[in-house]
Chain A
């Protein structure tokens, strides 16, 4: 029991520490890590968005609220979830690296895999049709439409104790 309490205290401290430490201060510049990130009108996943920004875009921090960061990008401001951003600068590739990354696009390379790896994989397996994956990857829905979908279907959880929700 003692150990459980101690672990809980440590977990709580870490959570708080993480929050304080990783909240970027206003004025800092961050990069978009996700392929596409929507700047939301308010700090939530579903609802109206202001603009969509692409990987590598540099955004300026205005403020934070929990895991959400209020940023400005080319004169527009909105909220982005922390997971979509990175402190690292993402380079723009300077030439044809193959594998779908065209000139001027933000580089997408991990520790081991890069557009080059994908190009060699394609060469080894010529029967695989990557164009289908590319098309599927482009599909997305508007979070404002999903927000209406939630309201229309009243996807709102269980009843409150002693009353409906």
Chain B
């Protein structure tokens, strides 16, 4: 069965390349293939591609990057409120320029992953949010991370303490970024909500001239509630979580990080998170199920041992984690008024 699918994927890829080659000239294709391990090889070796090979949902087509910007801000403000957010590195945040510390470290890793996603987008990927990605550390003991539309990636100090190296941090960020890239937040908006705003979102009318401001505001409130419910309380669907694992592992592979890092950090959750009932353990498939899936799809590549510098900077960044005693659990989520 597996070999049949692999053959199909290979034939599909080859046919696509051949037809592309005939149109844009074979030299380009040969150039792409000349490296020992090209980006084409990456997609050939990853067996979870079928899970990602779906077209963009209607909801995702309706929400333009400009709409996603407002939606993301409204979801983010709720999450920050729930966590009584305090800037971890207040001075840097106020200046708007990151130079050192934990947030700066996450932004560096995140930017590498964004570049990977943009270098090799999949069918149905959303483009990078208009304001880029934002990596936010929440000082919470919960082992948790979540992603809001508009590129807001929240990561708790609880889950950061589980990571054992830079690649594992990248694994967590890559999984979360994939929820944004694959539009899972937008897909969480309840179907019935769209009825009232069909004319606004599913027509090609020029931006800002729809006239029904009250309906748009009501829809924003409702959409934010739907997304928060799924993102924080119930979790995205199991299918979405496995898709984010496949997509996240692929981002690691493209970026140059160890594609096994996501598997490894989930194994850490399984081994060291025993007894946890909150956060990721409540909203995601079991670590064991995710490990089984990732084991099946992650290419069996050999990675060189990372240089000491990569581990050293990870230790330095983790040294900026606030003392465990200062972490606070989030308040119960209050949904915006509809």
Binding site for B on A (CB under 8 A): 1, 4-9, 11-13, 15-17, 19-20, 33-36, 44-46, 55, 81, 83, 107-114, 116-118, 120-121, 124-125, 127-130, 132-133, 135-141, 143, 145-146, 149-150, 152-165
Contacts and interface: CB of A to CB of B under 8 A. Distances in A.
Given A55-B130, A108-B66, A128 B216 contact: no
A129 B77 CA distance: 7
Interface string B192-217: 00000100110101011010010011
Contact of B217 (A109, A117, A161, A163): A117
B253 A149 contact: no
Given A1-B8, A117-B213, A164-B304, A109 B207 contact: yes
Nearest to B66: A110
A125 B228 CA distance: 15
B112 to A, nearest CB: 6
A141 B66 contact: no
Contact of A46 (B37, B85, B115): B115
Contacts of A162: 36
B166 A16 contact: no
A130 B65 contact: no
A111 B87 contact: no
Interface string B310-338: 10010000000000000000000000110
A110 B68 contact: yes
B16 A112 contact: no
15 contacts: A5-B15, A12-B19, A33-B65, A107-B207, A108-B69, A112-B210, A114-B216, A118-B74, A129-B80, A136-B134, A136-B136, A140-B107, A146-B115, A149-B108, A157-B37
Contacts of A7: 12, 15
Given A110-B66, A116-B213, A121-B221, A4 B37 contact: no
A125 B114 contact: no
B286 interface: no
Given A13-B23, A107-B208, A139-B103, A158 B301 contact: yes
A117 B337 contact: no
A146 B108 contact: yes
Contacts of A11: 12, 16, 19
Interface of B: 8, 11-21, 23-24, 36-37, 62-71, 73-74, 76-78, 80-81, 85, 87, 92-94, 96-98, 103-104, 107-108, 111-112, 114-115, 118-119, 127-128, 130-132, 134, 136, 152, 166, 197, 200-201, 203, 205, 207-208, 210, 213, 216-217, 219-221, 224, 253, 255-257, 259, 301-304, 306-307, 309-310, 313, 336-337
A96 B108 CA distance: 36
Given A19-B24, A83-B128, A9 B71 contact: no
A111 B197 CA distance: 10
A107 B66 CA distance: 10
Contact of A111 (B15, B23, B210): B210
A153 B313 CA distance: 9
Contacts of A137: 73, 131, 134
A52 B73 CA distance: 23
Contacts of B107: 139-141
Contacts of A135: 87, 93-94, 96
A9 B217 contact: no
Given A1-B11, A117-B220, A135-B87, A8 B213 contact: no
A143 to B, nearest CB: 7
A157 B210 CA distance: 48
A124 B301 CA distance: 53
A12 B18 contact: yes
Contact of B112 (A130, A138, A146): A146
A136 B135 CA distance: 8
A112 B67 contact: yes
Contact of A154 (B115, B132, B201, B307): B307
A133 B77 contact: yes
Nearest to A93: B208
Contacts of B76: 133, 136
A140 B128 CA distance: 14
A146 B256 contact: no
B24 A33 contact: no
